[in-house]
Amino acid sequence: MTAPRTTADGVLADRYGRVARDLRVSLTDKCNLRCTYCMPAEGLPWLAGPQLLTDAEIVRLVGVAVRRLGVTEVRFTGGEPLIRPGLPGIVSAVAALSPRPRISLTTNGIGLARLAPALRAAGLDRVNVSLDTLDGARFAALTRRDRHADVLAGLAGAAAAGLTPVKINAVLMRGVNDDEAPELLRFALAHGYELRFIEQMPLDAQHGWDRAAMVTADEILAALRTAFDLRPDSAERGAAPAETWLVDGGPARVGVIASVTRPFCGDCDRTRLTADGQVRNCLFATEESDLRGALRAGADDEDLARRWQAAMWGKRAGHGIDDPSFLQPARSMSAIGG
Protein backbone atom coordinates (compact mmCIF):
# COMPACT_ATOMS: atom_id res chain seq x y z
CA MET A 1 0.00 0.00 0.00
CA THR A 2 1.37 3.45 -0.84
CA ALA A 3 0.89 6.57 1.24
CA PRO A 4 -2.03 8.79 0.19
CA ARG A 5 -0.87 11.75 -1.90
CA THR A 6 -4.05 13.74 -1.85
CA THR A 7 -7.09 13.95 0.34
CA ALA A 8 -9.09 12.61 -2.57
CA ASP A 9 -8.26 9.33 -0.83
CA GLY A 10 -10.56 10.71 1.85
CA VAL A 11 -9.51 8.64 4.87
CA LEU A 12 -6.95 8.49 7.65
CA ALA A 13 -5.23 5.25 6.70
CA ASP A 14 -1.96 3.77 7.89
CA ARG A 15 0.49 1.40 6.29
CA TYR A 16 -0.97 -1.58 8.18
CA GLY A 17 -4.40 -1.16 6.59
CA ARG A 18 -6.14 0.45 9.57
CA VAL A 19 -8.44 3.43 9.01
CA ALA A 20 -9.09 5.97 11.79
CA ARG A 21 -12.71 7.05 12.12
CA ASP A 22 -12.78 7.86 15.83
CA LEU A 23 -11.31 11.22 16.82
CA ARG A 24 -10.40 12.04 20.44
CA VAL A 25 -10.12 15.77 21.02
CA SER A 26 -8.53 17.08 24.19
CA LEU A 27 -10.08 20.42 25.14
CA THR A 28 -7.72 21.25 28.00
CA ASP A 29 -4.82 19.66 29.85
CA LYS A 30 -6.09 21.07 33.18
CA CYS A 31 -8.16 19.14 35.69
CA ASN A 32 -10.00 19.70 38.95
CA LEU A 33 -9.01 16.26 40.30
CA ARG A 34 -5.56 14.77 40.89
CA CYS A 35 -6.07 11.03 40.39
CA THR A 36 -2.95 9.31 41.69
CA TYR A 37 -2.60 7.11 38.57
CA CYS A 38 -2.76 10.18 36.32
CA MET A 39 -0.99 13.20 37.80
CA PRO A 40 0.94 14.39 40.86
CA ALA A 41 -0.68 16.26 43.76
CA GLU A 42 0.76 19.59 42.64
CA GLY A 43 -0.63 19.23 39.11
CA LEU A 44 1.47 19.71 35.99
CA PRO A 45 2.97 22.66 34.12
CA TRP A 46 -0.21 23.62 32.26
CA LEU A 47 -0.26 24.84 28.67
CA ALA A 48 -0.29 28.64 28.38
CA GLY A 49 -3.39 30.32 26.90
CA PRO A 50 -1.96 31.11 23.46
CA GLN A 51 -0.75 27.52 23.09
CA LEU A 52 -4.32 26.23 23.33
CA LEU A 53 -6.45 25.95 20.24
CA THR A 54 -9.29 28.44 20.31
CA ASP A 55 -12.87 27.17 20.12
CA ALA A 56 -13.01 28.20 16.44
CA GLU A 57 -9.72 26.41 15.69
CA ILE A 58 -11.00 23.22 17.31
CA VAL A 59 -14.20 23.34 15.28
CA ARG A 60 -12.24 24.01 12.09
CA LEU A 61 -9.93 21.00 12.65
CA VAL A 62 -12.77 18.69 13.66
CA GLY A 63 -14.54 19.86 10.50
CA VAL A 64 -11.54 18.87 8.38
CA ALA A 65 -11.54 15.43 10.00
CA VAL A 66 -15.28 14.91 9.55
CA ARG A 67 -15.84 16.43 6.11
CA ARG A 68 -12.62 15.40 4.40
CA LEU A 69 -11.16 12.47 6.28
CA GLY A 70 -14.02 10.12 7.09
CA VAL A 71 -14.16 10.65 10.85
CA THR A 72 -17.58 9.57 12.16
CA GLU A 73 -17.09 9.67 15.96
CA VAL A 74 -15.87 12.66 17.93
CA ARG A 75 -15.09 12.26 21.63
CA PHE A 76 -14.17 15.29 23.73
CA THR A 77 -11.82 14.67 26.60
CA GLY A 78 -8.92 16.23 28.51
CA GLY A 79 -7.73 16.95 31.24
CA GLU A 80 -11.26 17.70 32.33
CA PRO A 81 -13.34 18.84 29.33
CA LEU A 82 -16.18 20.25 31.46
CA ILE A 83 -13.91 23.04 32.69
CA ARG A 84 -13.61 24.46 29.18
CA PRO A 85 -16.06 27.38 29.11
CA GLY A 86 -16.78 27.09 25.38
CA LEU A 87 -17.75 23.40 25.51
CA PRO A 88 -21.49 23.75 24.68
CA GLY A 89 -20.66 26.01 21.72
CA ILE A 90 -18.01 23.60 20.44
CA VAL A 91 -20.46 20.69 20.72
CA SER A 92 -23.20 22.54 18.84
CA ALA A 93 -20.81 23.59 16.05
CA VAL A 94 -19.59 20.00 15.66
CA ALA A 95 -23.18 18.71 15.72
CA ALA A 96 -23.93 21.08 12.82
CA LEU A 97 -21.26 19.46 10.61
CA SER A 98 -22.35 17.43 7.66
CA PRO A 99 -22.21 14.48 7.82
CA ARG A 100 -23.02 14.81 11.51
CA PRO A 101 -20.62 12.76 13.63
CA ARG A 102 -21.63 10.97 16.82
CA ILE A 103 -20.46 13.11 19.72
CA SER A 104 -19.47 11.89 23.17
CA LEU A 105 -17.56 13.14 26.18
CA THR A 106 -15.21 11.54 28.71
CA THR A 107 -15.42 13.36 32.01
CA ASN A 108 -14.83 12.99 35.72
CA GLY A 109 -18.46 14.10 36.14
CA ILE A 110 -17.86 17.16 38.32
CA GLY A 111 -20.33 19.81 37.18
CA LEU A 112 -22.13 17.41 34.86
CA ALA A 113 -25.34 17.52 36.91
CA ARG A 114 -25.62 21.22 36.07
CA LEU A 115 -24.28 21.08 32.49
CA ALA A 116 -25.92 17.90 31.16
CA PRO A 117 -29.17 19.48 29.86
CA ALA A 118 -27.32 22.24 27.96
CA LEU A 119 -24.85 19.74 26.51
CA ARG A 120 -27.68 17.47 25.43
CA ALA A 121 -29.45 20.42 23.82
CA ALA A 122 -26.20 21.35 22.04
CA GLY A 123 -26.05 17.90 20.45
CA LEU A 124 -23.98 15.74 22.78
CA ASP A 125 -25.03 12.10 22.36
CA ARG A 126 -23.41 10.28 25.28
CA VAL A 127 -20.97 10.45 28.17
CA ASN A 128 -18.38 8.27 29.84
CA VAL A 129 -17.94 9.19 33.49
CA SER A 130 -14.90 8.03 35.44
CA LEU A 131 -15.66 6.51 38.83
CA ASP A 132 -13.16 4.22 40.51
CA THR A 133 -14.77 3.72 43.91
CA LEU A 134 -18.11 3.82 45.72
CA ASP A 135 -16.49 4.89 48.95
CA GLY A 136 -16.30 8.65 49.55
CA ALA A 137 -13.16 8.49 51.70
CA ARG A 138 -11.38 6.30 49.18
CA PHE A 139 -12.44 8.64 46.41
CA ALA A 140 -10.93 11.58 48.29
CA ALA A 141 -7.66 9.69 48.77
CA LEU A 142 -7.54 8.45 45.19
CA THR A 143 -8.37 11.75 43.50
CA ARG A 144 -6.99 14.01 46.27
CA ARG A 145 -10.27 15.94 46.22
CA ASP A 146 -13.47 15.41 48.23
CA ARG A 147 -15.89 15.42 45.28
CA HIS A 148 -17.46 11.95 45.29
CA ALA A 149 -21.01 13.28 45.71
CA ASP A 150 -20.55 15.58 42.68
CA VAL A 151 -19.59 12.62 40.49
CA LEU A 152 -22.60 10.57 41.60
CA ALA A 153 -24.83 13.59 40.93
CA GLY A 154 -23.17 14.00 37.53
CA LEU A 155 -23.96 10.41 36.59
CA ALA A 156 -27.60 10.82 37.58
CA GLY A 157 -27.83 14.16 35.77
CA ALA A 158 -26.41 12.66 32.58
CA ALA A 159 -28.93 9.82 32.63
CA ALA A 160 -31.81 12.22 33.35
CA ALA A 161 -30.74 14.43 30.43
CA GLY A 162 -30.73 11.45 28.06
CA LEU A 163 -26.96 11.27 27.51
CA THR A 164 -27.31 7.51 27.24
CA PRO A 165 -26.02 4.90 27.43
CA VAL A 166 -24.12 6.42 30.36
CA LYS A 167 -20.88 4.51 30.67
CA ILE A 168 -18.63 4.36 33.71
CA ASN A 169 -14.85 3.99 33.37
CA ALA A 170 -13.10 2.43 36.36
CA VAL A 171 -9.40 1.84 36.96
CA LEU A 172 -8.54 -0.63 39.73
CA MET A 173 -5.34 -0.33 41.74
CA ARG A 174 -3.90 -3.02 43.93
CA GLY A 175 -4.48 -2.42 47.61
CA VAL A 176 -6.51 0.72 46.87
CA ASN A 177 -9.82 -0.28 45.26
CA ASP A 178 -9.22 -3.72 43.74
CA ASP A 179 -11.76 -5.24 46.13
CA GLU A 180 -14.58 -3.17 44.59
CA ALA A 181 -15.12 -4.82 41.20
CA PRO A 182 -18.38 -6.66 42.09
CA GLU A 183 -19.72 -3.69 44.04
CA LEU A 184 -19.05 -1.29 41.18
CA LEU A 185 -20.88 -3.63 38.82
CA ARG A 186 -23.82 -3.96 41.22
CA PHE A 187 -24.03 -0.16 41.39
CA ALA A 188 -23.89 0.19 37.60
CA LEU A 189 -26.57 -2.46 37.06
CA ALA A 190 -28.86 -0.87 39.65
CA HIS A 191 -28.69 2.50 37.86
CA GLY A 192 -28.64 1.29 34.27
CA TYR A 193 -25.06 2.48 33.64
CA GLU A 194 -22.63 0.46 31.53
CA LEU A 195 -19.44 -0.30 33.44
CA ARG A 196 -16.04 -0.76 31.81
CA PHE A 197 -12.84 -1.48 33.66
CA ILE A 198 -9.62 -0.09 32.18
CA GLU A 199 -6.25 -1.69 32.88
CA GLN A 200 -3.88 0.87 34.30
CA MET A 201 -1.41 2.02 31.63
CA PRO A 202 2.09 3.54 31.80
CA LEU A 203 0.81 7.04 31.09
CA ASP A 204 1.05 8.66 34.52
CA ALA A 205 3.04 11.86 34.76
CA GLN A 206 5.01 10.52 37.73
CA HIS A 207 6.22 7.39 35.87
CA GLY A 208 5.12 5.24 38.82
CA TRP A 209 3.40 2.52 36.74
CA ASP A 210 4.57 -0.98 37.55
CA ARG A 211 3.58 -3.90 35.30
CA ALA A 212 3.85 -6.34 38.19
CA ALA A 213 1.54 -4.31 40.43
CA MET A 214 -1.10 -3.69 37.78
CA VAL A 215 -4.53 -5.31 38.25
CA THR A 216 -5.01 -7.40 35.10
CA ALA A 217 -8.14 -8.10 33.07
CA ASP A 218 -7.99 -11.74 34.19
CA GLU A 219 -7.99 -10.68 37.83
CA ILE A 220 -10.89 -8.28 37.27
CA LEU A 221 -12.94 -10.98 35.56
CA ALA A 222 -12.16 -13.51 38.28
CA ALA A 223 -13.31 -11.03 40.92
CA LEU A 224 -16.54 -10.33 39.02
CA ARG A 225 -17.22 -14.04 38.61
CA THR A 226 -17.31 -14.47 42.38
CA ALA A 227 -20.64 -12.60 42.27
CA PHE A 228 -21.95 -12.77 38.68
CA ASP A 229 -22.29 -15.16 35.80
CA LEU A 230 -20.35 -13.72 32.84
CA ARG A 231 -20.74 -15.02 29.29
CA PRO A 232 -18.86 -13.63 26.29
CA ASP A 233 -21.03 -11.10 24.44
CA SER A 234 -21.54 -12.30 20.89
CA ALA A 235 -22.12 -8.74 19.58
CA GLU A 236 -19.51 -7.71 17.01
CA ARG A 237 -16.64 -5.95 18.82
CA GLY A 238 -15.26 -4.15 15.76
CA ALA A 239 -12.75 -1.50 16.77
CA ALA A 240 -14.22 -1.13 20.27
CA PRO A 241 -11.46 -1.38 22.87
CA ALA A 242 -13.70 -3.04 25.47
CA GLU A 243 -14.24 -6.77 25.45
CA THR A 244 -17.76 -7.22 26.78
CA TRP A 245 -19.54 -9.90 28.77
CA LEU A 246 -23.25 -10.48 29.33
CA VAL A 247 -24.01 -10.30 33.05
CA ASP A 248 -26.27 -13.01 34.49
CA GLY A 249 -27.66 -13.86 31.06
CA GLY A 250 -27.96 -10.22 29.88
CA PRO A 251 -29.03 -7.88 28.51
CA ALA A 252 -26.78 -5.94 30.93
CA ARG A 253 -23.10 -6.03 30.00
CA VAL A 254 -19.75 -5.27 31.54
CA GLY A 255 -16.59 -4.41 29.61
CA VAL A 256 -12.88 -4.71 30.23
CA ILE A 257 -10.37 -2.64 28.31
CA ALA A 258 -7.25 -4.77 28.54
CA SER A 259 -4.88 -2.37 26.79
CA VAL A 260 -1.86 -3.94 28.46
CA THR A 261 -2.51 -7.68 28.70
CA ARG A 262 -4.67 -8.07 25.55
CA PRO A 263 -3.69 -5.20 23.26
CA PHE A 264 -6.10 -4.40 20.45
CA CYS A 265 -3.73 -2.25 18.38
CA GLY A 266 -4.46 -4.29 15.22
CA ASP A 267 -8.06 -3.03 15.27
CA CYS A 268 -7.36 0.52 16.46
CA ASP A 269 -9.39 3.20 14.67
CA ARG A 270 -8.32 6.22 16.78
CA THR A 271 -6.73 9.51 15.90
CA ARG A 272 -6.06 12.17 18.53
CA LEU A 273 -5.86 15.93 18.64
CA THR A 274 -4.25 17.52 21.71
CA ALA A 275 -5.46 20.77 23.27
CA ASP A 276 -2.48 22.54 21.65
CA GLY A 277 -3.29 21.26 18.18
CA GLN A 278 -0.95 18.30 17.78
CA VAL A 279 -2.07 15.15 16.00
CA ARG A 280 -1.09 11.93 17.76
CA ASN A 281 -1.59 8.66 15.93
CA CYS A 282 -1.46 6.63 19.18
CA LEU A 283 -1.75 7.20 22.95
CA PHE A 284 1.80 5.88 23.16
CA ALA A 285 3.24 7.79 20.18
CA THR A 286 6.51 9.54 20.88
CA GLU A 287 6.06 11.90 17.94
CA GLU A 288 3.34 14.42 17.12
CA SER A 289 2.39 16.49 14.07
CA ASP A 290 1.75 20.17 14.52
CA LEU A 291 -1.54 21.26 12.97
CA ARG A 292 -1.82 24.43 15.07
CA GLY A 293 1.30 25.94 13.52
CA ALA A 294 0.11 25.13 10.00
CA LEU A 295 -3.38 26.44 10.72
CA ARG A 296 -2.09 29.71 12.18
CA ALA A 297 0.31 30.11 9.23
CA GLY A 298 -2.70 30.13 6.91
CA ALA A 299 -2.92 26.53 5.69
CA ASP A 300 -6.14 25.74 3.85
CA ASP A 301 -8.33 22.73 4.72
CA GLU A 302 -6.80 20.63 1.95
CA ASP A 303 -3.31 21.22 3.35
CA LEU A 304 -4.43 20.47 6.92
CA ALA A 305 -6.08 17.25 5.77
CA ARG A 306 -2.93 16.16 3.95
CA ARG A 307 -0.81 16.80 7.05
CA TRP A 308 -3.26 14.79 9.17
CA GLN A 309 -3.09 11.91 6.70
CA ALA A 310 0.70 11.96 6.74
CA ALA A 311 0.66 11.88 10.55
CA MET A 312 -1.55 8.78 10.59
CA TRP A 313 0.40 7.00 7.88
CA GLY A 314 3.34 6.74 10.27
CA LYS A 315 1.33 4.95 13.01
CA ARG A 316 3.21 2.00 14.48
CA ALA A 317 1.77 -1.52 14.42
CA GLY A 318 1.49 -1.67 18.21
CA HIS A 319 2.21 0.18 21.43
CA GLY A 320 5.03 -2.16 22.43
CA ILE A 321 4.50 -1.83 26.20
CA ASP A 322 6.05 -5.27 26.63
CA ASP A 323 9.11 -4.53 24.46
CA PRO A 324 12.32 -3.95 26.42
CA SER A 325 12.78 -0.84 24.25
CA PHE A 326 9.37 0.64 25.27
CA LEU A 327 9.57 4.35 26.01
CA GLN A 328 6.77 6.08 27.90
CA PRO A 329 5.64 9.13 25.88
CA ALA A 330 6.72 12.53 27.17
CA ARG A 331 3.11 13.61 27.63
CA SER A 332 0.99 11.91 30.25
CA MET A 333 -2.63 10.78 29.84
CA SER A 334 -4.19 14.06 30.96
CA ALA A 335 -2.03 16.07 28.54
CA ILE A 336 -2.73 13.76 25.61
CA GLY A 337 -6.45 13.33 26.17
CA GLY A 338 -7.46 9.86 27.35
Ligand X SMILES: C[S@@+](CC[C@H](N)C(=O)[O-])C[C@H]1O[C@@H](n2cnc3c(N)ncnc32)[C@H](O)[C@@H]1O
**Binding residues for ligand X (CB under 6 A):** 31, 37-38, 77-78, 80, 106-108, 130, 169, 171, 198, 200-201, 203-204, 333-334, 338
Q: Which stretch binds ligand SF4 (CB under 6 A): 35-43, 160-168, 287-295, 319-327?
A: 35-43
Q: Which does 278 bind (CB under 5 to 8 A by kind): ligand SF4, ligand X, none?
A: none
Q: Which stretch binds ligand SF4 (CB under 6 A): 26-34, 93-101, 251-259, 284-292?
A: 26-34
Dist. CA 293–CA 224, nearest whole Å: 48
Q: Which does 77 bind (CB under 5 to 8 A by kind): ligand X, ligand SF4, none?
A: ligand X
Q: Is 87 exposed, middle or buried (0-12, 13-18, 19+ CB in 10 A)?
A: buried
**CA distances to 214, 260, 272, 286, 326 from 322, in Å:** 13, 8, 23, 16, 7
Q: Among 92, 222, 80, 61, which residue's Cα sits nearest to residue 147? A: 80
Q: Is 177 exposed, middle or buried (0-12, 13-18, 19+ CB in 10 A)?
A: buried
Chosen residue from 4, 63, 79, 101 binding ligand SF4 by CB under 6 A: 79
Q: Among 275, 106, 274, 301, which residue's Cα sits nearest to residue 198? A: 106
Q: Is residue 33 part of the contact set for ligand SF4 (CB under 6 A)?
A: yes
Chosen residue from 12, 20, 23, 31 binding ligand SF4 by CB under 6 A: 31
For ligand X, which is the closer residue by CB, 58 or 246?
Answer: 58
Q: Is residue 199 part of the contact set for ligand SF4 (CB under 6 A)?
A: no
Q: Is residue 127 part of the contact set for ligand SF4 (CB under 6 A)?
A: no
For ligand SF4, which is the closer residue by CB, 188 or 336?
Answer: 336
Q: Is 6 exposed, middle or buried (0-12, 13-18, 19+ CB in 10 A)?
A: exposed
For ligand X, which is the closer residue by CB, 38 or 247?
Answer: 38
For ligand X, which is the closer residue by CB, 7 or 77?
Answer: 77
Q: Which residues contact 202 (CB under 8 A, 6 or more apart)?
A: 209, 211, 321, 326, 328
Dist. CA 239–CA 264, nearest whole Å: 8
The CB-nearest residue to ligand X is: 338
For residue 106, the SS3 value is strand
Task: Return residues touching ligand SF4 (CB under 6 A).
Answer: 31, 33-35, 38-39, 78-80, 108, 130, 334
